[in-house]
Amino acid sequence: MSSEQITAAASGSWQLGDLTVNRVGLGAMRLAQHGQALTADAVPMDRARAIAVLRRAVELGVNHIDTAAFYFSPLRSANELINHALAPYPDNLVIATKVGPARDSSGEWLPPATPGQLRGQVEENLRQLGRDHLDVVNLRVTGPGSIAEHFGALAELREAGLIRHLGLSAVGPDQLAEAQAIAPVVCVQNSYGIGVRPGQDDFVRACGEQGVAFVPFFAIAAAGREAGASGADSDAVLHVARELGVSAAQVRLAWTLHRGPHVLAIPGTGDPDHLVANVAAGALRLPAEHLAALDAAHKVA
């Protein structure tokens, strides 16, 4: 079967609360611009290309899209692109967004939202996406310490019907426990991948034991982060890619999915060919010897 024929269903599925998603989704951060994301001077993405990527993703069975109101460049907004490309939304499409960080209209970063400002951020996502409720809202945390006041504000919006499910982003085990004492948490989004934060391994497993999805970001980009993949992959990743006849990015995604059935992938791309390859990585099963080599490379990073 060619890559173009593989759908996101090949990756398996997971429950985000009462919502079923395929384990390979799509991150929307790269749809708004070429190159470096989240900068005031970003080069806008071609609108037709971004819309084509979104529609092709849904055709390939992607039913989990991760976005945020602060994903924008001059002329382009990820949320607006999603709305234009996909509304009226398929019944099985789950759109997850993030609140907490904020940028002004010029693209410059503002101080993180206070608890009282979170409702405005939620309502802005609703407006941009053209929704009457948000499927999943992740509280993006900016550092250690208590998150009770911020998460409590989102829990109130969940009770009011504006949010269906809650998640967390950039958190540790103590913050997850604190949030769970307030309201159910369906997912945790943290930076993670081969050689990226191996100290997170125990937390990844603990999330699975608690039935919480772990949704790594920068699984492909790694140290490149907002700039994208740097091409500086380890010898182990490159060796496995050659052995299996796939790309280094596909190896990275496959390894991520092998970390547990609760691990979901949200690779971001504005390239239609990369989208097809990312979805196809969900069907890649890594042999034991290759997994061992990749695990070793991960731990020594």
Contact 120, 148 (CB under 8 A): no
Residue 16 CA from chain centroid, whole number: 13
Best CA proximity match to 43, nearest among 71, 76, 82, 69: 76
**Assigned token pair, 264:** 């979901």
Alpha carbons within 13 A on the beta-carbon side of 290? 18
Catalytic residue selected from 70, 71, 72, 217? 71
Would residue 71 show up in a list of annotated catalytic residues for this protein? yes
Strands 72-73 and 76-77: antiparallel
- The DSSP string of the chain is --GGG--GGGG-EEEETTEEEESB-EE-GGGSEESS-S-TTPEEPPHHHHHHHHHHHHHTT--EEE--TT-EETTEEHHHHHHHHHPSPPTT-EEEEEES-EE-TTS-EEPPPPGGGHHHHHHHHHHHHT-SSEEEEEEE--SSS--HHHHHHHHHHHHTTSEEEEEEES--HHHHHHHHTTS---EEE-B-BTTB-GGGHHHHHHHHHTT-EE--BSTTTGGGGGG---S---HHHHHHHHHHT--HHHHHHHHHHTT-TTB-B--B-S-HHHHHHHHHGGG----HHHHHHHHHHHHT-
Catalytic residues: 71
